[in-house]
Amino acid sequence: MTAYIVDTVQVRPGDLAAYVALVHDVAVPVMTGAGASFVSCLATSPDLREDVDVQVTWSFRDHVEWNEIRKNLVLDRAWHDLARRAAALRTGGTRRFYYPAKV
């Protein structure tokens, strides 16, 4: 089974480019180094004159693997720097775990 974490972060339109650059330049190396796989980074339009949703999706096998990834992140100084930098750009957001739906 594959599990996914979907982070949906709100940023001001003027911070969109900085946040997306932070995802690609810093978050991807940190998260993949910890064991997660990068799936996608999507955003709503900054032209609506409201906060932009940036959706970043990561995958991993299961919660056993996620717990190992979390441990690796907590021990990584780069993760703490990333979290500080991302928090300065965020105006809100959510984190959800998703699993393949079965019929």
What is the tally of structural domains in the chain?
1
Give residue 102's pLDDT: 86
Tell me, yes or no, whether 103 lies in a domain: no
Q: Is 103 helix (H, G, I), strand (E, B) or coil?
A: coil
- CATH value at residue 69: 3.30.70.100
Residues 90 and 45 sit within 8 Å (Cβ to Cβ): no
**Could you report the per-residue pLDDT of 12-62, keeping only the tens digit for each?**
999 999 999 999 999 999 999 999 999 999 999 999 989 999 999 999 999
* Enclosing domain of residue 14: 3-98
Percentage of the chain with pLDDT > 70?
A: 100
For residue 37, give Cα distances in angstroms to 21, 31, 45, 52: 18, 7, 25, 24
Tell me, yes or no, whether 78 lies in a domain: yes
* Residue carrying structure tokens 């056993």: 64
- In eight-state DSSP terms, residue 51 is P
Q: Would you tell me how many other CB atoms lie within 10 Å of the CB of residue 12?
A: 15
